[in-house]
């Protein structure tokens, strides 16, 4: 007993010593929270130090406004698979959008394993770039605020991202990623400011988040599997979208996606699956949309397989994408247009195993309508508007 106690005590003291030793406070390294001094190199040196050790490390960002230009956190040569980044402050993009506008990403993690971010605000300061894009001037395409690329075992919790130049958060080529308590906001007319975009990734979970933006709240690209989205407030924005898919002829499919307990408020779409009207061998299968509340949503339930803006680059207008096994269950509320349910599937590859269960959508005080083309499946329980499958 005595020996067990001293072993425990030793373990406790030993570990807490390590934990204190491996905290890198960016301010102690030279960063300034004054909103004007470029602090990028101090963040990168904190990262380099954390990576150099095999023991768990914390990078700490105290209160303050830290100006960062493009920051790439590389996992290659990183010995550490337990790095926590605790942020009490705000990271600010440069006020001149040109500084990061053509860089693709503002803050990027690449090839990392075992990184957690707790708290913090990322201010992309994108409003002047959106204004440029709205005028006829030539402007940079804009940077994604935060990207994880080819990474695994990532957790982000309580992070706020506002006014991104382009997409707010992108997860691509990743495995085992958990995002929760995210607050994402950009104005409803900001271009391409998707909240969270996921592609080529497996095992991503998005929980308990509030997303208001000018594009999709969450967009799901090719090669996404085992995705779980739950308890989200979406709006304004374009809703939750699987797609656009099927631009490429050879394209990895989307499989096993759950979207549950989401409120959509004043969005253009609720849940959408969208594919280009082009040849492709991609697919979407095993999707469940469950417990959704629609409040004045233009297209609450929509599959659009004829996406082809300006009728360009879609020679046959037939999507090669195969959509099957999609369930809509317990979906209520109001549609902002008469057609509340629209399945516009591919003539060449009709949608199959579409299931509607307990759907009740109304339009003003009139009956809403459903419209189907090349869609097969079943409906059970109350389904209003009545199913056209
Ligand atoms: C589907 O994805 C969930 C996570 O979202 C996972 O728990 C489950 O095991 C997956 N199912 C299959 C059949 O892979
Ligand atoms: C459908 O929703 C409307 C409006 O919320 C409600 O009045 C009606 O009772 C619901 N119908 C069914 C069958 O649940």
- Structural domain includes residue 66: no
Which of 226, 227, 228, 254, when mutated, tests ligand 1's pocket best, judged by the most ligand atoms within 8 Å of its CB? 226
E-assigned strand segments in 173-313: 175-180, 183-185, 196-199, 202-212, 218-220, 225-234, 240-245, 254-265, 269-276, 283-297, 299-307
DSSP 307: E
**The pLDDT value given to residue 315:** 79
- Supply the residue whose CA is at minimum distance from atom 6 of ligand 2: 360
- Which residue is it, tokens 């499919």? 253
Distance 239 CA to ligand 2 centre (A): 23
How far does residue 359's CA lie from ligand 2's centre (Å)? 10
How many domains are there within the chain?
Answer: 1
Q: Is residue 54 part of a domain?
A: no
Active site residue 332: no
Residue with the smallest CA separation from ligand 1 atom 8 is 226
Instruction: Using DSSP, state whether 127 is helix, strand or coil.
Output: helix
Report how far apart the first and last C-alpha atoms of the chain are (Å, whole number): 69
The sign of the dihedral angle between the CA atoms of 80, 84, 87, 93 is positive
User: Measuring from atom 10 of ligand 1, which residue has the nearest CA?
Assistant: 226
Residue of minimum CA distance from atom 7 in ligand 1: 226
Is residue 336 domain-resident? yes
Name the burial class of residue 6, with classes exposed (0-12), middle (13-18) and buried (19+) by CB atoms within 10 angstroms of its CB: exposed
Q: Is the CB of 382 under 6 A from ligand 2?
A: yes
Is the residue at 46 inside a domain? no
Phi, psi of 114 (to 5 degrees): 80, 55
Cβ(360) – ligand 2 distance below 6 Å: yes
Q: Which ligand is nearest to the CA of 383?
A: 2
What pLDDT does residue 1 have?
Answer: 43
Q: How far is the CA of 369 from the centre of ligand 2 (A)?
A: 15
* Position 58 in a domain: no
Q: Which residue has the tokens 């708290």?
A: 119
Nearest-ligand number for the alpha carbon of 176:
1
Q: State whether the beta carbon of 386 lies less than 6 angstroms from ligand 2.
A: no
Q: What is the whole-number distance in angstroms between the Cα of residue 85 and the centre of ligand 2?
A: 47
Q: Positive or negative, the Cα torsion across 382, 383, 386, 389?
A: negative
Q: What is the CATH number of the domain that holds 265?
A: 2.160.20.10
Of 149, 168, 197, 238, catalytic: 238
Ligand 2 atom 1 nearest Cα: 360
Ligand 1 closest atom vs CA 228: 5
Distance 360 CA to ligand 2 centre (A): 6
Check pocket membership of 362 for ligand 2, CB cut-off 6 A.
yes
DSSP string, 135-178: SSS------EEEEEES-EEEEEES-EEES-SS-SEEEES-EEEE
Q: Would you say 356 and 330 are in contact if contact means Cβ atoms under 8 Å apart?
A: no
Residues near 14 by beta carbon (within 8 Å), at least 6 away in sequence:
none
pLDDT of residue 15: 47
Q: Can you give the pLDDT at residue 17?
A: 47
Question: Three-state DSSP class for 303?
Answer: strand
CA distance 318 to 52: 52
> Which protein residue's CA is at the shortest distance from atom 2 of ligand 2?
360
Q: Is residue 29 in some structural domain?
A: no
Domain hosting residue 160, numbered range: 84-384
Q: Which residues line ligand 1 (CB under 6 A)?
A: 226-228, 256, 258
Q: Could you tell me the distance, in angstroms and rounded to a whole number, from the CA of residue 382 to the centre of ligand 2? A: 9
Question: What is the predicted pLDDT for the residue at 21?
Answer: 61
Per the domain annotation, does 123 fall within a domain?
yes
Residues of the chain with pLDDT under 70: 1-21
Sequence-ordered list of residues with C-beta below 8 angstroms from that of 292, at least 6 positions apart, any chain: 259, 260, 261, 262, 263, 264, 270, 271, 300, 330, 331, 332, 333
Kindly state whether residue 177 falls inside one of the protein's structural domains: yes
Q: Which ligand is nearest to the CA of 359?
A: 2
């Amino acid at each position: 007993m005595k020996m067990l106690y001293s072993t425990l005590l030793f373990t406790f003291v030993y570990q807490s010593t390590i934990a204190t030793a491996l905290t890198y406070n960016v301010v102690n390294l030279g960063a300034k929270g004054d909103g004007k001094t470029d602090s990028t190199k101090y963040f990168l040196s904190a990262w380099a130090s954390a990576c150099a050790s095999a023991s768990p490390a914390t990078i700490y960002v105290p209160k303050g406004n830290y100006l960062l230009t493009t920051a790439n956190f590389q996992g290659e040569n990183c010995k550490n698979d337990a790095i926590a980044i605790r942020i009490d402050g705000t990271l600010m993009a440069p006020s001149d959008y040109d500084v990061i506008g053509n860089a693709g990403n503002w803050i990027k993690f690449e090839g990392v394993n075992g990184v957690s971010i707790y708290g913090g605000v990322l201010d992309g300061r994108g409003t002047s770039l959106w204004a440029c894009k709205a005028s006829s001037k030539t402007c940079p395409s804009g940077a994604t605020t935060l990207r994880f690329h080819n990474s695994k075992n990532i957790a982000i919790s309580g992070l706020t991202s506002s006014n991104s130049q382009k997409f707010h958060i992108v997860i691509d080529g990743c495995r085992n990623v958990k995002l929760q308590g995210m607050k994402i906001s950009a104005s409803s007319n900001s271009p391409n400011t998707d909240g969270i975009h996921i592609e080529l990734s497996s095992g991503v979970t998005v929980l308990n988040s509030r997303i208001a933006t000018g594009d999709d709240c969450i967009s799901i690209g090719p090669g996404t599997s085992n995705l779980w989205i739950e308890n989200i407030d979406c709006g304004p924005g374009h809703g939750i979208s699987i797609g656009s898919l099927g631009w490429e002829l050879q394209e990895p499919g989307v499989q096993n996606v759950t979207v549950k307990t989401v409120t959509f408020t004043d969005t253009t779409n609720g849940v959408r699956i969208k594919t280009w009207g082009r040849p492709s061998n991609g697919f979407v299968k095993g999707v469940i949309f469950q417990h959704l509340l629609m409040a004045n949503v233009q297209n609450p339930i929509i599959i659009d397989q004829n996406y082809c803006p300006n009728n360009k680059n879609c020679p046959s207008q037939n999507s090669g994408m195969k959509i099957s096994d999609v369930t809509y269950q317990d979906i209520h509320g109001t549609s902002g247009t008469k057609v509340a349910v629209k399945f516009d599937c591919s003539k060449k590859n009709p949608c199959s195993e579409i299931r509607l269960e307990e759907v009740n959508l109304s339009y003003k005080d009139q009956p809403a309508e459903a419209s189907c083309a090349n869609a097969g499946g079943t409906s059970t329980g109350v389904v209003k508007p009545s199913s056209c499958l």
